[in-house]
Each structure stands twice: as C-alpha cells, then as structure tokens.
C-alpha cells in the first residue's frame, strides 16, 4: 500500500511476472513480490524511467565506478561487474578508459 509505484502499471506487471516466474509456490505471497531495489546478493532491479535513459552513459559510469572502487584493478573491477577481464577491457577501450 505504501509503495509509490514509480513505473506505474508497467512496473506492477513486471513485478507480478517476475514473482510468477521465480516463485516456488503454487500461490503467490507477499514474500514473492520484490519492490524497488533488492538485496545486492539477490540481484538488482532497475526501473526504466518513462523518459528513457542513455544506456551507454550508464555503462560508462558503472565501468568508472568499478575501476575507482578497485583502485583501477581490472580483474577486481571485472568481477564486480560480473564480466571477464577481456570483456571489461573491450568496454574500457570503447569508452576511451584505457
């Protein structure tokens, strides 16, 4: 009742679809509904704003954050982003971060 539903009906639909797909029970319960951000260990839910987003800017920013957090250790940054080191380096080259 207190959740603001920033994604409106689309977000509600996505929450229900996710609950149906991931639930291990025949009937959905409150614990099956994940609203907004979740525990990092359980994954991240990102709600696309109605006006859209520049995905390349988001990707570049995440690369920079991972590199900063790991003092530019590419192996550790790749692990944070769940990428291989080669995948990280490819993206770094793409954004001129090498």
Say how far apart CA 86 and CA 94 lie, in whole Å.
12
Q: By percentage, how much of the chain surpasses pLDDT 70?
A: 89
H-type helices in 41-84, by residue range? 55-69, 74-80
Mean pLDDT for the chain? 84
Do residues 78 and 67 lie in contact, with contact meaning Cβ atoms separated by under 8 Å?
no
Question: Quick one: pLDDT at residue 20?
Answer: 86
Domain boundaries, given as residue ranges, for the chain = 1-52, 55-94
Task: State mean pLDDT over 85-89.
Answer: 96
How do residues 4-39 score in pLDDT, each as one tens digit? 777 778 888 888 888 888 888 889 888 888 776 555
Say how far apart CA 56 and CA 53 lie, in whole Å.
9
Higher-pLDDT residue of 1 and 56 is 56
Do residues 47 and 57 lie in contact, with contact meaning Cβ atoms separated by under 8 Å?
no
Q: Is the pLDDT of residue 45 over 70?
A: no
Question: Quick one: pLDDT at residue 42?
Answer: 52
Q: Does domain 55-94 have CATH number 1.10.390?
A: no
DSSP E strands: which ranges in 1-98?
Answer: none
């Amino acid at each position: 009742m207190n959740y603001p539903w920033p994604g409106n009906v689309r977000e509600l639909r996505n929450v229900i679809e996710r609950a149906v797909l991931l639930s291990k029970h025949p009937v959905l319960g409150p614990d099956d509904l994940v609203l907004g951000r979740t525990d990092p260990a359980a994954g991240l839910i990102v709600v696309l704003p109605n006006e859209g987003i520049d995905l390349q800017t988001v990707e570049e920013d995440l690369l920079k954050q991972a590199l900063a957090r790991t003092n530019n250790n590419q192996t550790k940054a790749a692990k944070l982003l769940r990428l291989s080191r080669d995948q990280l380096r490819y993206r770094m080259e793409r954004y001129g971060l090498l």
